[in-house]
């Protein structure tokens, strides 16, 4: 007797994985809503307006809105997986632990990034956080993650610094960064 061939379908995920996506979506939507609410506590004056007439709270509000949209997209993905889920003989909880660990590690990296962004600065903290997230979520090699993190950081820095004239936190590179 021969064994059936291994499944290589990327869409074939554990049935219970929809719960992880739903939890992540609720956290993302809640965090985005909280961040948006916090922007109203900013002391924004006319002198703090930046590119395009958007005040200093405009970009954080944009990022908060994108975070909520990400949560909505994850909720849609969870709903899609839930509808496709077919519990097997052993229930539908098999293989869920790895996703939870990755989600917890990703959350820890993002929390640490938030705490270290000001003291380390954007150009130091961002490639470290992006590289770590790529390793956690993507499972790519360290060299690939480092190159992608540096390219991403450089692109975002150039956009904010020269495109919309917003100075990002300098941290350790205060006085040295462009």
Question: Is 174 a domain residue?
Answer: no
Burial class (CB in 10 A: 0-12, 13-18, 19+), 101: exposed
Question: Whole-angstrom Cα distance, residue 131 to residue 129?
Answer: 5
pLDDT per residue, tens digit, the chain (178 aa), is 555 555 554 444 455 577 787 888 888 888 888 888 887 777 666 445 555 556 667 777 778 888 888 888 888 878 877 777 755 444 444 445 567 788 788 888 888 988 888 889 889 999 999 888 888 877 668 898 899 999 999 998 888 888 777 778 888 877 776 6
Domain containing residue 74: 11-86
Listed residue (162, 175, 171) closest to 124, CA to CA? 171
Number of separate domains in the chain: 2
Is residue 135 helix, strand or coil? helix
pLDDT, residue 39, reads 79
Question: Is 178 a domain residue?
Answer: no
Question: Whole-angstrom Cα distance, residue 112 to residue 114?
Answer: 5
DSSP string, 4-23: PPPP--TT---TTHHHHHHH
* Same domain membership, residue 77 and residue 52: yes
Question: Is 173 a domain residue?
Answer: no
Question: Is 175 a domain residue?
Answer: no
Show which of 30, 65, 86 is a domain's final residue.
86
pLDDT, residue 124, reads 92
Show which of 55, 86, 117 is a domain's final residue.
86
* Same domain membership, residue 78 and residue 15: yes
* Same domain membership, residue 47 and residue 105: no
pLDDT, residue 151, reads 93
């Amino acid at each position: 007797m021969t064994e059936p061939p291994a499944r290589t379908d990327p869409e074939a995920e554990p049935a219970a994985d929809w719960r992880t996506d739903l939890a992540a979506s609720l956290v993302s939507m809640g965090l985005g809503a909280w961040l948006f609410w916090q922007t109203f506590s900013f002391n924004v004056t006319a002198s703090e307006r930046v590119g395009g007439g958007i005040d200093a709270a405009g970009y954080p509000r944009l990022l908060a809105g994108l975070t909520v949209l990400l949560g909505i997209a994850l909720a849609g993905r969870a709903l899609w997986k839930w509808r496709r889920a077919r519990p097997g003989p052993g229930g539908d909880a098999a293989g869920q632990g790895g996703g939870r660990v990755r989600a917890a590690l990703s959350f820890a990296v993002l929390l640490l990034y938030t705490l270290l962004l000001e003291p380390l600065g954007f150009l130091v903290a961002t490639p470290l956080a992006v590289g770590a997230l790529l390793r956690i979520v993507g499972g790519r090699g360290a060299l690939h993650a480092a190159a992608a993190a540096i390219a991403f950081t450089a692109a975002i820095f150039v956009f904010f610094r020269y495109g919309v004239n917003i100075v990002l936190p300098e941290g350790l590179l205060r006085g040295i960064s462009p």
